[in-house]
A and B are shown apart, each in its own frame.
Chain A
Amino acid sequence: MALAKDYQSVMGRSNEIQKEALGLDYADFETSPISFDYDALMKSTGYTLDEIERIQGLHGVGNTPLLELRNITKLARKYAKPGFGARIFAKDESCNASGSFKDRRAACAVAHAKKLGYKGVMAATSGNYGAAVASQAAMQGLNCIIVQECYDSHGVGQPEIVEKARKCEALGAEVVQLTVGPELFYSFLSIMEDTGYFNASLYSPFGIAGVETLGYEIATQCREKLGKDPDVVVCTNAGGGMVTGTARGLLKAGCKAEVVAASIDLTGLSMASDVDFNKKSCTTGHTGFGVPYATDPDHSDVPRSAARPLRYMDKYLTTTQGEVMYMTEMLANLEGIERGPAGNTALAAAFSYAQELPEDAIVVVSETEYTGAGKHIQPQLDFARDNGIDIKFGDPKDDKPGTNLILPANPGLIKHKVADIEHFRKSLIKKAVKKAGVKPTAADLEFLAVETKTDVDFVKKTLEAEGLL
């Protein structure tokens, strides 16, 4: 008998569908209603860092250049106190097969799907990850379906996402496009159930393990080129995979660099709003994803996300859309490399943060991404202007997402803001306990301390203040 395919029925089968589609039973890692064994989940991939490097090497992924941004460093020093202005480097991740660091996540997941005998792979993504999965599926001989949130209710699409759909199709994938809303997950599950394809989720342990090579390469390339470790690694933060994987790779290399997350501040715009959808002038690397995924990692397309950025981040900086657009133009004009804007979120934060660090310090921006029609500051600014966004030069501190887009009147006005990471940590602790609806055990308190890079005392105080302990 054919299975019922209505919303309630498919969502009701979510756990079984996901189990089938990942070849992994997350129940094996649950230790209490609050805690699970994250290390065991990550080890469940069964791949060592060396094996992942080998898989990536076979598929056009990894070993990307570490570029010193000399002119950008020189410019940053003009706005720093004497003796300040760290050297800024960028990992040119656009050199990966499909043009972004997401290839690292996809290579491993697709290789694993192939090993397990799946005929195809699927991913729910409006970002570069779609092209990455499509590219790896093409290389490794599997079918691929990408499900995108792409349009508002009038069928108007973000130019950046429309371009990503084109790229996926160019690489042979089927692209299913939807209007705004979390029920995308229903379509995704339903197609996965029909096809029996592998869920190449962004948040699977295979995906995150694939990013570890990025952190590892940053540490080893700095040692080879500069004879020392980087002091700071700045990662653009959306779903948390870049921060998590890079930080884990740095740790595997024995590197103790400060891990800084950076997102574009889109406070005030609702991510599930049909109207707000096209008032954004960037579609990723912003707080609309960054904050909810950091404080509640387990609301993605897998039962437990392997991306858990608060375990690893030391600071969380925010920038504005206008600052990131300006930096993208700066990268092209002062360094001669034209790259997509989304990857430059971390670069904008790094430009300003480096000014607070001594000249001999090393700051590495963990990625660049490809650029092209739609995925470029001109179509994105033009689209914003068409949507009534007031674009002008001024002071980015007057930025109001969805209303205006302030391009810094001069580079000295690019100033990161320090987000309240302690607030995010408390938020994660409270959400985890409330969601479980049970009183935490001593083991749960330990788990939450690790989850938030704090200690048991901090966790206890947070819960006591809320009457949750």
Chain B
Amino acid sequence: MAEVRLENVTKAYGETLAVDQVSLTVASGEFVTLLGPSGCGKTTTLRVVAGLVDGSSGRIAIAGRDVTAIPTHKRNIGMAFQSHALFPHMTVADNVAFGLKMRGLSGADRRSRVAEALDMVRLSGFGGRYPAQLSGGQQQRVALARALVINPDVLLLDEPFGALDRKLRETMQEELRDLTRRIGITAMFVTHDQEEALILSDRIAVMNAGRIEQIGTPAEVFEFPRTRFVADFMGVANLLPARVTGVTGDRVSLDADGLLMETRMVGAAPAVGAEIAAGIRAERIAVASGEGTPAPNTIAGRIQSAIYHGNQTTYIVDIGGRTLTARESNQQVNDGGARLKENDAAVLSWEAASVRVLQH
């Protein structure tokens, strides 16, 4: 099958580096997502792989072949775009057949392959329609069929579901997940939506300012962000500047401006005195009502606002000039909305294993 290798890929626009020394190997059959905010270089990286943008330096290899100097149309890739990019003047069948036609397949071969591909995306019988006559989700499925029918070495997806509404997006994510795993294709996916990345990917590469800041499985990136940026992007709500005050084995003590914390490190322990950021997910903070005495990983405060989401409640808790955000699942039926109300006294606590030591 087909592995994709990026070696020190760099793309400069004048003085700015859109992509800065990105190296990454996508194993055969693996689904890797480039995740990051707009302008982080994720789309440019994908476009360099596609050959739609020339890299300033570095090398790209697809299926063991160095394609750095090979134009897009000879790379044997399949690509889906956010705008679908269907050919508006062609029927669905002609859209899907286009890549086969460019490869010189005969009419009969084309028809059977097109029928197969449309069947794969559950659009049999839509071959005679024009793209404008399809819904957004159907259009994107045609785009997928068109990209996959040519048996590409790698499927490149540039925010393909960005233009769809939430519900449809979830359906399409499931379909794409099933489809790519069933046919075992190597895929590179670009998105700014962390949830989408978690659902779809074998591995996630979080990008910031043209670089890959962290790469790992969804659980690794979600649970063990290494930097403040990654933690923030993966939705860690509480990020506090802190100093390392003690290290004993894997136990690390932190002082976040008076708020004392203890954590168990996974990986190398930081040096004593290091300035870091302490990160705690909102859903890992337990909220109890009443007064309490401060201790490591425990602090008393007052509910500043209680936001009822239905399945969850978010508490913004004033802990003396600063706030922490805690979120709990509403597991019991409670027709009164949030369990605690504004101005209630509350005690926040969390487990040492929930505190992350993050590099700036």
A binds B: no
Q: Which residues of A contact B (CB under 8 A)?
A: none
Name B's A-contacting residues (CB within 8 A): none
